[in-house]
Amino acid sequence: MIRRPGRLALAGVLVAAGALVVAGALEDTLTYYRTPAEILSDPDAAGERVRIGGDVVPGSLRRDGETVVFRLAEAGHEIVVHQRGAPPDTFREGEGAVVEGRLSPDGVFRADHVEVRHGNEYGPTGAESPDAR
């Protein structure tokens, strides 16, 4: 038998090793969404169900019957999104959003689920700083 301090140290090392293995295995799935640039440059992404995150480009939002059309931008890259169904009430131009769906061969991302991704700034209406998203 290993002495008590040794056993404690062993348990600690085992827990740390286990945590590393779990974190490593989860590395890919831990990325909740991908960026427009990653999707557009990845040939395997077409047809796969993915999530894309970015900011809704101001002026790009329009409604086309059941479909909501807008562009998502992140770090200078944009992707056109055709969303089927109404997005949440908090969905606005200039705010962040995550969409879930598939990239069509024509380069349009067809989404059926929108989540609004808001910032960590809080304040009343009219008190927004100029750079507030």
Partner 1 sequence: MHVLPGLESALRSMRGGAPADPDREIMRTTTVDLAADTPAGAAARRTTAWTAGGLAAAAALTGGLLAPTDAAQGQAQRLMYVHVPAAWVAYLAFTVVLAASLAHLIRGDLRWDRYARAGAEIGVALTAVALASGAYWGHLVWGTWWAWDPRLVSTALLLLTYAGYLALRRAVAERTGRDGADRTAAVLGVAGFLLVPVVHFSVVWWRSLHQPATVLAPERPPIDARMGLALLLAVAAASVAALCVLLYRVVRLSRRHGPDPATSASRRREPARVG
Q: Given the rule CB under 8 A, which residues bind partner 1?
A: 8, 11-12, 15-16, 19, 29-33, 53, 87-88, 90-92, 95, 98, 113-129, 132
Q: Of the two residues 90 and 104, which places its CB atom closer to partner 1 in the complex?
A: 90
* CB of residue 106 to partner 1, shortest distance in Å: 26
Query: What whole-number distance in Å separates Cα of residue 90 and Cα of residue 92?
Result: 6
Nearest to 50 by CA among 91, 95, 118, 103: 103
Q: Of the two residues 84 and 104, which places its CB atom closer to partner 1 in the complex?
A: 84
Q: Of the two residues 58 and 88, which places its CB atom closer to partner 1 in the complex?
A: 88
Beta strand 67-74 with 49-56 is antiparallel
* CB of residue 66 to partner 1, shortest distance in Å: 17
* CB of residue 104 to partner 1, shortest distance in Å: 23
Q: Of the two residues 14 and 104, which places its CB atom closer to partner 1 in the complex?
A: 14
Instruction: Give the DSSP per-residue string, 55-119.
Output: EEPTT--EEETTEEEEEEEETTEEEEEEEESPPPTT--TTSEEEEEEEE-TTSEEEEEEEEEE--
* CB of residue 55 to partner 1, shortest distance in Å: 13
